[in-house]
């Protein structure tokens, strides 16, 4: 039998603990209803993008971990975990949801992916929902594996030669690419329905070249992105919660406000995930029309503008990076309210 050291033992116990979920944190069951409750409770529809670029993580954090671990990837992971916990602690009462982008974790290999896991678990403990920003998309059997990995349960042998189902990443929602059509989407819908999770499908993305494919004019129908919007609406139509929203929604960039407005009309029952506010150029005015009269219907993402707010601040130094993030979140909430 492998002799675990303290670190390995702690990690295994943490993972076992995660299998017994705090059911209060899962209510309401329907993802859209749960997200909307969080939006109302926190008083904002802000999604904080946890994109921990190593160069911008404060030096005092990096010095501590790189001085403590010989394995540089472990030190990188521990730096990311500490940084993210500081951000989550600072904003947990102000925002309903956070969105770690897995690329910035995969940079540091499997250790980086461990930092992604621990970030998601910590967010849940602090009463904040999580979107795994992975933009996954593949054929049916592979999509099923992704959906089980990030949203559902995976099978493992148990000690009696049978099988057990355990939670893996157990995020609340995930971003998905629609290039492969319904086969690549259905497995995610199945896991969402079974475990009360959510799905955000790329429709009109925030980047400059999003038009290369998304703006192509399809004969007799309209643009690709308009057709994708119709697909998203139909794919979620069977699964509308009590708040009137489905757990299937689109990703639509703040940087294309005209299309955002048009798409709002095409997907009345979807919660929009809106990237592009702040660092990419989108403004509060650009996104105003995406909300319903109750302030619901969308979550607006900001990453660098919040988590690295200290860099552009006269008031805060890197030691106060978390307080700076809180201040930037308060500012963004005011901005979105039109104050």
Closest by CA position to 95, among listed 337, 244, 301:
301
Q: How far apart are CA 165 and CA 194, in angstroms?
A: 13
Among 31, 83, 108, 316, which residue sits at the site for a copy of itself (rule: CB under 8 A)?
108
Does 101 interact with a copy of itself (rule: CB under 8 A)? Answer: yes
Measured N-to-C along each axis, helices 224-236 and 257-266 cross at an angle, to the nearest 10 degrees, of 40
Does 218 interact with a copy of itself (rule: CB under 8 A)? Answer: yes
- Choose the stretch contacting a copy of itself; rule: CB under 8 A; options: 21-29, 84-92, 136-144, 283-291: 136-144
CB of 295 vs a copy of itself, minimal distance in Å = 27
Does 143 interact with a copy of itself (rule: CB under 8 A)? Answer: yes
> How many residues bind a copy of itself, per CB under 8 A?
94
Does 17 interact with a copy of itself (rule: CB under 8 A)? Answer: no
Closer to a copy of itself by CB, 50 or 333: give it.
Answer: 50
Q: How far apart are CA 152 and CA 196, in angstroms?
A: 9
Q: How far apart are CA 150 and CA 169, in angstroms?
A: 5
CB of 54 vs a copy of itself, minimal distance in Å = 6
SS3 of residue 156 by DSSP: strand
Instruction: Tell me the sheet residues that pair with 100.
Output: 50
Does 237 interact with a copy of itself (rule: CB under 8 A)? Answer: no
DSSP H helical ranges for the chain: 6-17, 31-42, 59-66, 72-91, 103-106, 109-125, 140-150, 186-195, 211-214, 224-236, 257-266, 284-287, 304-307, 321-336
User: What's the token pair of residue 95?
Assistant: 């925002």
What is the phi-psi region of residue 161: left when phi exceeds 0, alpha when psi lies from -120 to 50, beta otherwise? left
Closer to a copy of itself by CB, 147 or 333: give it.
Answer: 147
Among 24, 219, 258, 339, which residue sits at the site for a copy of itself (rule: CB under 8 A)?
219
Does 155 interact with a copy of itself (rule: CB under 8 A)? Answer: yes
Instruction: Give the number of other CB atoms < 10 A from CB of residue 85.
Output: 17
Among 44, 191, 214, 259, which residue sits at the site for a copy of itself (rule: CB under 8 A)?
214
Residues 6+ apart with CB under 8 A from 186: 140, 143
Does 4 interact with a copy of itself (rule: CB under 8 A)? Answer: yes
Does 60 interact with a copy of itself (rule: CB under 8 A)? Answer: no
- Choose the stretch contacting a copy of itself; rule: CB under 8 A; options: 30-38, 208-216, 239-247, 282-290: 208-216
Q: How far apart are CA 279 and CA 244, in angstroms?
A: 32
Does 165 interact with a copy of itself (rule: CB under 8 A)? Answer: no
Among 58, 86, 96, 184, which residue sits at the site for a copy of itself (rule: CB under 8 A)?
184
Does 221 interact with a copy of itself (rule: CB under 8 A)? Answer: yes
SS3 of residue 48 by DSSP: strand
Interface of this chain with a copy of itself, residues 26 to 55, rule: CB under 8 A: 51, 54-55
Q: How far apart are CA 194 and CA 92, in angstroms?
A: 27
Catalytic residue among 64, 85, 135, 186: 135
135 counts as catalytic:
yes
Q: Mask: binding to a copy of itself, 283-322, rule CB under 8 A, as x and -?
A: ----------------------------------------
Q: Mask: binding to a copy of itself, 251-270, rule CB under 8 A, as x and -?
A: --------------------
So which residues are the catalytic ones?
A: 135
């Amino acid at each position: 039998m492998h002799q675990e050291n303290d670190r390995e033992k702690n990690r295994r116990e943490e993972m076992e603990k995660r299998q017994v979920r705090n059911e209060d944190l899962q209510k309401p069951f329907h993802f859209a209803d749960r997200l909307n409750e969080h939006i109302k409770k926190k008083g904002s529809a802000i999604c904080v993008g946890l994109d921990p670029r190593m160069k911008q993580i404060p030096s005092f954090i990096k010095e501590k971990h790189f001085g403590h671990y010989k394995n540089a990837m472990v030190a990188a992971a521990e730096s990311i975990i500490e940084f993210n916990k500081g951000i989550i602690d600072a904003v947990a009462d102000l925002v309903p949801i956070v969105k770690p982008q897995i690329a910035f974790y995969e940079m540091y290999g499997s250790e980086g992916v461990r930092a992604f896991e621990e970030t998601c678990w910590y967010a849940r403990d602090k009463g904040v929902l999580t979107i795994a920003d992975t933009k996954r998309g593949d054929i049916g059997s592979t999509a099923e594996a992704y959906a089980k990995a990030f949203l559902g349960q995976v099978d493992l042998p148990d000690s009696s030669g049978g099988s057990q189902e355990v939670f893996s990443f157990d995020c609340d929602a995930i971003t998905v690419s629609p290039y492969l059509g319904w086969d690549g989407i259905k497995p995610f819908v199945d896991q969402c329905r079974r475990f009360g999770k959510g799905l955000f499908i790329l429709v009109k993305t925030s980047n400059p070249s999003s038009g290369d494919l998304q703006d192509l004019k399809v004969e007799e129908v309209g643009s690709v992105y308009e057709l994708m919007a119709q697909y998203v609406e139909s794919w979620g139509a069977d699964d509308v919660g009590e708040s009137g929203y489905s757990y299937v929604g689109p990703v639509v960039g703040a940087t294309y406000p005209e299309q955002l407005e048009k798409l709002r009309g095409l997907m009345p029952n979807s919660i929009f995930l809106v990237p592009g506010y702040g660092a990419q150029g989108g403004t509060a005015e650009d996104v105003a029309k995406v909300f319903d009269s109750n302030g619901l219907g969308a979550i607006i993402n900001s990453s660098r503008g919040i988590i690295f707010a200290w860099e552009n601040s006269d008031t805060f130094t890197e030691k106060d990076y978390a307080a700076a993030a809180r201040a930037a979140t308060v500012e963004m909430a005011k901005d979105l309210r039109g104050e």
